[in-house]
Structure 1
Protein backbone atom coordinates (compact mmCIF):
# COMPACT_ATOMS: atom_id res chain seq x y z
CA UNK A 1 0.00 0.00 0.00
CA UNK A 2 2.81 2.41 0.89
CA UNK A 3 4.51 1.63 -2.44
CA UNK A 4 1.28 2.48 -4.30
CA UNK A 5 0.96 5.80 -2.47
CA UNK A 6 4.61 6.66 -3.16
CA UNK A 7 4.30 5.66 -6.82
CA UNK A 8 1.15 7.77 -7.19
CA UNK A 9 2.83 10.77 -5.54
CA UNK A 10 5.85 10.41 -7.83
CA UNK A 11 3.62 10.23 -10.91
CA UNK A 12 1.69 13.33 -9.87
CA UNK A 13 4.94 15.22 -9.21
CA UNK A 14 6.30 14.22 -12.63
CA UNK A 15 3.15 15.36 -14.39
CA UNK A 16 3.04 18.62 -12.42
CA UNK A 17 6.68 19.44 -13.06
CA UNK A 18 6.36 18.86 -16.82
CA UNK A 19 3.49 21.32 -17.19
CA UNK A 20 4.67 24.85 -18.05
CA UNK A 21 4.21 27.32 -15.22
CA UNK A 22 1.53 29.94 -15.63
CA UNK A 23 3.14 33.16 -16.89
CA UNK A 24 1.63 36.58 -16.38
CA UNK A 25 0.50 38.53 -19.40
CA UNK A 26 -0.72 41.56 -17.45
CA UNK A 27 0.68 44.77 -18.84
CA UNK A 28 0.39 47.36 -21.58
CA UNK A 29 1.15 46.60 -25.23
CA UNK A 30 1.12 48.16 -28.68
CA UNK A 31 -0.58 46.22 -31.43
CA UNK A 32 1.30 45.16 -34.53
CA UNK A 33 1.91 48.41 -36.36
CA UNK A 34 1.70 50.54 -33.20
CA UNK A 35 -1.82 51.87 -33.84
CA UNK A 36 -3.48 51.17 -30.49
CA UNK A 37 -2.44 50.52 -26.92
CA UNK A 38 -3.96 47.50 -25.19
CA UNK A 39 -3.93 46.98 -21.43
CA UNK A 40 -4.23 43.37 -20.24
CA UNK A 41 -5.38 42.59 -16.73
CA UNK A 42 -7.91 40.77 -14.57
CA UNK A 43 -11.60 40.75 -15.45
CA UNK A 44 -13.46 38.49 -13.08
CA UNK A 45 -11.65 35.16 -12.86
CA UNK A 46 -10.07 35.57 -16.32
CA UNK A 47 -7.85 38.06 -18.15
CA UNK A 48 -9.01 40.64 -20.71
CA UNK A 49 -7.27 43.11 -22.97
CA UNK A 50 -8.85 46.53 -23.45
CA UNK A 51 -7.95 49.17 -26.02
CA UNK A 52 -6.92 52.04 -23.77
CA UNK A 53 -5.52 54.54 -26.26
CA UNK A 54 -5.32 55.26 -29.96
CA UNK A 55 -1.68 56.00 -30.73
CA UNK A 56 -2.40 56.90 -34.35
CA UNK A 57 -5.23 56.16 -36.73
CA UNK A 58 -4.70 53.39 -39.21
CA UNK A 59 -5.03 54.71 -42.78
CA UNK A 60 -8.67 54.54 -43.84
CA UNK A 61 -9.94 53.74 -40.34
CA UNK A 62 -11.75 55.86 -37.77
CA UNK A 63 -11.82 55.75 -34.00
CA UNK A 64 -15.18 53.88 -34.15
CA UNK A 65 -16.01 50.16 -34.28
CA UNK A 66 -17.40 50.54 -37.81
CA UNK A 67 -16.85 46.91 -38.94
CA UNK A 68 -18.77 45.33 -36.04
CA UNK A 69 -21.26 42.63 -37.08
CA UNK A 70 -23.87 44.34 -34.88
CA UNK A 71 -25.00 47.59 -36.59
CA UNK A 72 -25.94 49.04 -33.20
CA UNK A 73 -22.27 48.87 -32.10
CA UNK A 74 -20.68 50.40 -35.20
CA UNK A 75 -20.67 53.92 -33.79
CA UNK A 76 -19.09 52.98 -30.43
CA UNK A 77 -15.56 54.26 -29.79
CA UNK A 78 -12.68 51.81 -30.24
CA UNK A 79 -11.18 52.96 -26.95
CA UNK A 80 -12.70 50.83 -24.20
CA UNK A 81 -13.37 47.71 -26.29
CA UNK A 82 -12.14 44.43 -24.81
CA UNK A 83 -10.37 42.84 -27.76
CA UNK A 84 -8.95 39.99 -25.64
CA UNK A 85 -11.77 38.26 -23.78
CA UNK A 86 -12.12 35.46 -21.24
CA UNK A 87 -8.45 34.42 -21.31
CA UNK A 88 -7.75 31.48 -19.00
CA UNK A 89 -4.54 29.51 -18.44
CA UNK A 90 -4.76 26.08 -20.09
CA UNK A 91 -2.18 23.73 -21.63
CA UNK A 92 0.74 26.16 -21.35
CA UNK A 93 -0.97 29.26 -22.79
CA UNK A 94 -3.72 31.78 -22.18
CA UNK A 95 -6.80 30.75 -24.19
CA UNK A 96 -9.98 32.71 -24.89
CA UNK A 97 -11.25 34.97 -27.67
CA UNK A 98 -9.85 37.89 -29.62
CA UNK A 99 -12.01 40.54 -31.30
CA UNK A 100 -10.60 42.12 -34.46
CA UNK A 101 -12.02 45.63 -35.00
CA UNK A 102 -10.63 45.62 -38.55
CA UNK A 103 -13.17 43.00 -39.69
CA UNK A 104 -15.64 42.82 -36.79
CA UNK A 105 -14.92 39.13 -36.17
CA UNK A 106 -14.30 37.33 -32.89
CA UNK A 107 -11.88 34.41 -33.04
CA UNK A 108 -10.48 31.69 -30.81
CA UNK A 109 -7.28 33.06 -29.25
CA UNK A 110 -4.06 31.66 -27.85
CA UNK A 111 -1.87 34.24 -26.10
CA UNK A 112 1.68 33.77 -24.81
CA UNK A 113 4.36 36.06 -23.44
CA UNK A 114 6.93 36.91 -26.12
CA UNK A 115 10.50 38.18 -26.19
CA UNK A 116 11.21 41.65 -24.92
CA UNK A 117 8.12 41.69 -22.72
CA UNK A 118 5.67 41.53 -25.63
CA UNK A 119 2.78 39.22 -26.42
CA UNK A 120 2.25 36.65 -29.13
CA UNK A 121 -1.45 36.71 -30.06
CA UNK A 122 -2.86 33.99 -32.27
CA UNK A 123 -6.41 34.17 -33.64
CA UNK A 124 -7.97 31.09 -35.22
CA UNK A 125 -11.03 30.16 -37.26
CA UNK A 126 -11.42 26.38 -37.54
CA UNK A 127 -7.93 25.22 -38.61
CA UNK A 128 -6.70 28.56 -39.96
CA UNK A 129 -4.69 30.73 -37.59
CA UNK A 130 -2.87 34.05 -37.79
CA UNK A 131 -0.26 35.09 -35.26
CA UNK A 132 0.79 38.67 -34.53
CA UNK A 133 3.24 40.08 -32.03
CA UNK A 134 2.43 43.00 -29.80
CA UNK A 135 5.33 44.92 -28.32
CA UNK A 136 5.53 46.08 -24.73
CA UNK A 137 4.46 49.73 -24.44
CA UNK A 138 7.34 51.66 -22.96
Structure 2
Protein backbone atom coordinates (compact mmCIF):
# COMPACT_ATOMS: atom_id res chain seq x y z
CA UNK A 1 0.00 0.00 0.00
CA UNK A 2 2.77 2.45 0.90
CA UNK A 3 4.76 1.43 -2.21
CA UNK A 4 1.67 2.06 -4.33
CA UNK A 5 1.13 5.51 -2.78
CA UNK A 6 4.77 6.44 -3.33
CA UNK A 7 4.62 5.25 -6.95
CA UNK A 8 1.44 7.27 -7.51
CA UNK A 9 3.03 10.38 -5.97
CA UNK A 10 6.14 9.99 -8.15
CA UNK A 11 4.01 9.50 -11.28
CA UNK A 12 1.95 12.60 -10.46
CA UNK A 13 5.09 14.67 -9.83
CA UNK A 14 6.60 13.49 -13.12
CA UNK A 15 3.41 14.37 -15.01
CA UNK A 16 3.38 17.87 -13.52
CA UNK A 17 7.06 18.36 -14.37
CA UNK A 18 6.51 17.70 -18.08
CA UNK A 19 3.43 19.94 -18.43
CA UNK A 20 4.23 23.41 -19.78
CA UNK A 21 3.73 26.17 -17.24
CA UNK A 22 1.30 28.96 -18.08
CA UNK A 23 4.06 31.55 -17.75
CA UNK A 24 6.29 29.86 -20.31
CA UNK A 25 3.55 28.81 -22.74
CA UNK A 26 3.97 30.23 -26.23
CA UNK A 27 1.71 33.24 -26.76
CA UNK A 28 0.54 34.38 -30.17
CA UNK A 29 1.62 37.76 -31.49
CA UNK A 30 -0.14 37.40 -34.84
CA UNK A 31 -2.29 40.39 -35.71
CA UNK A 32 -2.37 43.87 -37.16
CA UNK A 33 -0.83 46.75 -35.19
CA UNK A 34 -0.15 50.46 -35.44
CA UNK A 35 3.38 51.63 -34.64
CA UNK A 36 3.99 53.87 -31.61
CA UNK A 37 3.24 57.04 -33.58
CA UNK A 38 0.29 55.70 -35.54
CA UNK A 39 2.15 56.23 -38.82
CA UNK A 40 2.20 52.71 -40.22
CA UNK A 41 0.25 49.49 -39.88
CA UNK A 42 2.29 46.32 -39.32
CA UNK A 43 0.88 42.86 -39.95
CA UNK A 44 2.51 40.09 -37.91
CA UNK A 45 2.13 36.48 -38.95
CA UNK A 46 3.89 33.29 -39.95
CA UNK A 47 6.83 33.29 -42.35
CA UNK A 48 8.21 29.78 -42.65
CA UNK A 49 8.90 28.40 -39.17
CA UNK A 50 9.08 31.86 -37.62
CA UNK A 51 7.01 35.04 -37.27
CA UNK A 52 7.58 38.25 -39.23
CA UNK A 53 6.02 41.70 -39.32
CA UNK A 54 5.57 43.70 -42.51
CA UNK A 55 4.45 47.29 -43.06
CA UNK A 56 1.13 46.75 -44.83
CA UNK A 57 -0.30 50.26 -44.80
CA UNK A 58 0.92 53.81 -44.43
CA UNK A 59 -1.68 55.48 -42.22
CA UNK A 60 -0.14 58.95 -42.41
CA UNK A 61 3.17 60.35 -43.50
CA UNK A 62 5.72 61.25 -40.89
CA UNK A 63 6.57 64.97 -41.20
CA UNK A 64 9.76 65.44 -43.18
CA UNK A 65 10.12 61.75 -44.09
CA UNK A 66 9.68 60.39 -47.61
CA UNK A 67 7.89 57.09 -48.18
CA UNK A 68 11.22 55.51 -49.15
CA UNK A 69 13.77 53.63 -47.04
CA UNK A 70 16.25 56.54 -47.27
CA UNK A 71 18.09 55.75 -44.01
CA UNK A 72 18.94 52.14 -44.90
CA UNK A 73 22.57 51.17 -44.25
CA UNK A 74 22.60 49.55 -47.71
CA UNK A 75 22.61 52.28 -50.41
CA UNK A 76 21.03 49.85 -52.90
CA UNK A 77 17.89 49.66 -50.70
CA UNK A 78 17.42 53.38 -50.05
CA UNK A 79 14.97 53.84 -52.91
CA UNK A 80 12.64 50.99 -51.93
CA UNK A 81 9.17 51.95 -50.66
CA UNK A 82 8.48 51.79 -46.92
CA UNK A 83 5.26 49.91 -47.74
CA UNK A 84 6.11 46.21 -47.75
CA UNK A 85 9.27 46.38 -45.64
CA UNK A 86 9.66 43.52 -43.19
CA UNK A 87 10.36 45.24 -39.86
CA UNK A 88 10.12 42.16 -37.62
CA UNK A 89 12.31 39.35 -38.87
CA UNK A 90 12.84 35.70 -37.95
CA UNK A 91 11.00 35.82 -34.61
CA UNK A 92 11.13 32.49 -32.79
CA UNK A 93 9.71 31.53 -29.42
CA UNK A 94 12.53 31.22 -26.87
CA UNK A 95 12.62 31.53 -23.09
CA UNK A 96 9.20 33.16 -22.68
CA UNK A 97 9.37 35.66 -25.57
CA UNK A 98 9.60 35.96 -29.34
CA UNK A 99 13.22 36.70 -30.28
CA UNK A 100 14.66 37.77 -33.63
CA UNK A 101 15.49 41.08 -35.31
CA UNK A 102 13.73 44.39 -35.77
CA UNK A 103 14.50 46.80 -38.61
CA UNK A 104 13.96 50.48 -37.88
CA UNK A 105 13.33 52.50 -41.08
CA UNK A 106 13.80 55.74 -39.08
CA UNK A 107 17.56 55.10 -38.71
CA UNK A 108 18.18 52.20 -41.11
CA UNK A 109 19.46 49.90 -38.38
CA UNK A 110 18.62 46.28 -37.64
CA UNK A 111 18.61 45.32 -33.97
CA UNK A 112 18.20 42.27 -31.77
CA UNK A 113 14.50 42.09 -30.86
CA UNK A 114 12.43 40.74 -28.00
CA UNK A 115 8.69 40.84 -28.70
CA UNK A 116 5.93 40.08 -26.19
CA UNK A 117 2.16 40.47 -26.16
CA UNK A 118 1.16 43.34 -23.88
CA UNK A 119 -2.06 44.30 -22.16
CA UNK A 120 -5.25 45.06 -24.11
CA UNK A 121 -3.97 43.41 -27.29
CA UNK A 122 -0.84 45.57 -27.57
CA UNK A 123 2.56 44.34 -28.69
CA UNK A 124 5.72 45.25 -26.78
CA UNK A 125 8.69 45.48 -29.16
CA UNK A 126 12.16 45.87 -27.69
CA UNK A 127 15.17 46.56 -29.90
CA UNK A 128 18.68 46.19 -28.50
CA UNK A 129 22.22 46.90 -29.60
CA UNK A 130 24.84 45.55 -27.19
CA UNK A 131 23.49 46.44 -23.72
CA UNK A 132 21.31 49.36 -24.81
CA UNK A 133 17.63 48.65 -25.42
CA UNK A 134 14.56 50.66 -26.32
CA UNK A 135 11.00 49.39 -25.99
CA UNK A 136 7.97 50.66 -27.86
CA UNK A 137 4.35 49.57 -27.69
CA UNK A 138 2.29 48.94 -30.77
CA UNK A 139 -1.50 49.14 -30.46
CA UNK A 140 -4.01 46.90 -32.21
CA UNK A 141 -5.16 48.38 -35.52
CA UNK A 142 -8.74 49.30 -35.76
TM-score normalised to structure 1 length: 0.90
> For the residues of structure 2 that align with 1:39 and 1:10, how far apart are their CA atoms?
38
Residue equivalent to 1:117:
121
Q: How does 1:83-98 map to 2 (within 5 A)?
A: 83-98=87-102
Number of aligned residues: 135
Question: Which runs of 5 or more structure 1 residues have no equivalent in the other structure?
Answer: none
Partner of 2:29: 25
Q: Is the 8 A contact 1:19 1:91 kept in 2?
A: no
Contact 1:48 1:83 survives alignment (8 Å): yes
Matched, 1:78 2:85: no
RMSD: 1.8
Deviation, 1:17, is 2.4
Q: How far apart are the structure 2 equivalents of 1:36 and 1:130? A: 19
**Structure 2 counterpart of 1:58:** 62
The TM-score normalised by the length of structure 2 is: 0.88
Hey, what does 2:14 align to over in structure 1? 9
Structure 2 residue runs without a partner (length 5+): 1-5
1:7-51 Cα distance to aligned partner (Å, 9 max, x none): 88257337x326521111000000001000000000000000000
Instruction: Look up the SS of the partner of 2:65 in the other structure.
Output: coil
Which has the larger Rg? 2
* 4+ runs deviating over 4 angstroms: none
